[in-house]
Amino acid sequence: MNAALLIDVILWGSVAAVGFIAYRRGPKVMTASLREGAMDFIYIMPRIALGVIGSGYIAAVIPQEVITGWLGPNSGWFGVAAAVVAGAATPGGPVIGFSIGAVALRSGGGTPQVLAYVVAWALFAFQRLLLWEIPFMPARFVWFRAAVCIPFPFLAAAIAMLIGKP
């Protein structure tokens, strides 16, 4: 809870800081930014409402054991590839993503595979892509970004295999 509060303070502090800079540039810059930000907010709100309010249902119908099973030990590069797919397919927010990773780690999943899973989740989790990235960014950028990132969970796993466990 404290971390969340800290993040909120930093977040609104940053808004206040850039707002102050805009204010120093003159009231016109200030009102233009405020209007722009408010319009973005109004545009984005229903999309996020659908995503956030619906995400619980998507998470409820995909059983977590299925995903954990893919990260099994001694799975090698096949396991890494499965982990990447699992990371992209994991529904819900960070609690679900990291919990699955933690369960996999505790139940004997390979560390490079779990690492690939966490990195792939961070890069490709379909719900974040569809609900957050696409509404805010040009769709062309999002698909391009995702495609370009495909090698990196594998690279991370390769580095992990080289340098070993923590």
Partner 1 sequence: MIAIGVLVAASATLVWRRDGLSGVLDILGHDISLFAGILPRVLAGCLLGAFIAEILPHEKVSRSLGPSSGLTGLLIGAAFGAILPGGPFTAYPVASALLAVGADFGATISMVVSWTLIGYGRAVAWELPIMGTDFTLWRIAISLPLPVLAGALGRFVYVRIYPTKAESASEGE
According to CB under 8 A, which residues from 132 to 161 bind partner 1?
Answer: 132-133, 135-138, 141, 144-145, 148-149, 151-152, 155-156, 159-160
| Minimal distance, residue 42 CB to partner 1, in Å | 9
CA atoms within 13 A on the CB side of 6: 3
Residue 71 per-residue DSSP state: T
Question: Are the beta carbons of 136 and 45 closer than 8 angstroms?
Answer: no
If one asks whether residue 66 binds partner 1 (CB under 8 A), the answer comes out as: no
10 or 76: whose CB is closer to partner 1? 10
Query: One-letter amino acid identity for 165?
Result: K
Q: State how far the Cα of 46 lies from the Cα of 164, in Å rounded to an integer.
A: 45
76 or 159: whose CB is closer to partner 1? 159
Question: CB under 8 Å, gap of 24 or more: what pairs does 105-111 form?
Answer: 107/68, 108/72, 108/73, 109/68, 109/71, 109/72, 109/73, 110/71, 110/72, 110/73, 110/74, 110/75, 110/79, 111/160, 111/165, 111/166
| Minimal distance, residue 35 CB to partner 1, in Å | 8
| Minimal distance, residue 124 CB to partner 1, in Å | 10
Stretch that binds partner 1, among 41-49, 67-75, 76-84 (CB under 8 A): 41-49
34 or 78: whose CB is closer to partner 1? 34
Binding mask 103-132 for partner 1 (x = CB under 8 A): --x-----x--xx--xx--xx----x-xxx
| Minimal distance, residue 61 CB to partner 1, in Å | 5
Six token digits for residue 59? 């998470």
